[in-house]
Structure 1
């Protein structure tokens, strides 16, 4: 199976994207939708899993509710639910084989090789966005994809309306825009306007929609840059704190969260 890398710039785009499920109620609805699909695929064997394994599935679905992916480490999940890392890896491999997730890797900064894995939920509404952003070829993943669209948590779309939007998240373009790219951008805007008109809003002209989307992109860019700077500042503070503790011979203890994920 081909190894797919997620570059730092792409990962920053992914984590700064507007959450699909924002409120507590929406997150619970999407979480249970993802979890039920997993349980359906696993079938009767679900009842044979250890409680810690079932809790792990619950947690990753909760993590994936907002943006459609999770990247929690095997060690953390194993320690949190008192199961082995081997069990975690086997269960996640099974999710891949069942066509529920696909695995990509963050690129390791030091070795330029595989970093931590990221699992994309196939049945999340944002899956097609990440496929487009990362330039994924689904033929590279040896699984049987049978995607089903999750309903919009807010219930804003009418019953029977197409769930997958006719547009996709545009890829970041580093080179100059050519004629082919221009045609794609124009079609993207046209499709967005059609979607907007179908929803019954007042946006009916390309010019007005372009003004709105440019303003939105500017806000997203500012948010992403602020997020990057804050993350860099936090990382620097953690490194300074760790170095200071090492010099003083102090071992940092990681508290175990007491939050009950099963009640989400």
Structure 2
């Protein structure tokens, strides 16, 4: 599996069209606080030792991701907004990703062939499983299923060749049909 998964342009347009997960102000505040509490619990004591500007920057990321569960504001934007270094924002994002609070993917770049800007998904958001199951990893599951079937077919071939003796030497492996060896 690739270390950095890229979101294709069509996929990104599709998730931007999702309706907001919550509409009432009370639900928005509850969801923001749920995401913020997941950050606080992952950071532990670090949270209490942080500067107020850094706390506000992390809270801002939660605020931006309330409606659809992700944010694509860059570390430079967040850092400038709260007068902190962008490397501080990147360091905390990386830490939160290691703790499983967020998942980071990259948009495909328009100007070059490769990855563009990061998109941060909060794992505590209700849309997180919807994104993962329908958009990003639906093909990985199919590929894993096909690989599992291939391994199972290889095992069956080995078992059958051991039961029936050696395979004829005049037949190449590509011409062998498994249905001929079924018990």
For residues 128-157 of structure 1, what are the alpha-carbon distances to aligned partners after superposition, in whole Å with 9 as ceiling and x for unaligned? 1110233338x9xxxxxxxxxxxxxxxxxx
Structure 1 residue ranges (4+ consecutive) displaced by more than 3 angstroms after TM superposition: none
Task: Please name the residue that 1:44 is paired with.
Answer: 45
Cα distance between partner residues in 2 of 1:118 and 1:133: 17
DSSP 3-state at the match of 1:117: strand
Q: Does 1:28 align with 2:29?
A: yes
Task: Please name the residue that 1:68 is paired with.
Answer: 69
Cα distance between partner residues in 2 of 1:37 and 1:23: 21
Task: Please name the residue that 1:53 is paired with.
Answer: 54
Cα distance between partner residues in 2 of 1:135 and 1:96: 17
Task: Please name the residue that 1:124 is paired with.
Answer: 125
Cα distance between partner residues in 2 of 1:104 and 1:7: 10
For residues 19-54 of structure 1, what are the alpha-carbon distances to aligned partners after superposition, in whole Å with 9 as ceiling and x for unaligned? 101222221110001101110111111011111110
TM-score (norm 1): 0.50
Q: Does 1:108 align with 2:116?
A: no
Cα distance between partner residues in 1 of 2:136 and 2:78: 29
Q: CA RMSD in A?
A: 1.5
Which aligned pairs between 1:240-255 and structure 2 lie closer than 5 A?
none
TM-score (norm 2): 0.72
DSSP 3-state at the match of 1:41: helix
Cα distance between partner residues in 2 of 1:106 and 1:114: 6
Larger radius of gyration: 2
Ranges in structure 2 where 5+ consecutive residues have no aligned partner:
141-183
Total equivalences in the alignment: 138
Q: Does 1:2 align with 2:3?
A: yes
Cα distance between partner residues in 2 of 1:54 and 1:110: 34
| Structure 1 residue 8, shift from structure 2 partner | 1.2
CA contact (8 A) 1:10 1:133 kept: no
Which aligned pairs between 1:37-186 and structure 2 lie closer than 5 A?
37-136=38-137
CA contact (8 A) 1:74 1:85 kept: yes
CA contact (8 A) 1:100 1:122 kept: yes
DSSP 3-state at the match of 2:104: strand
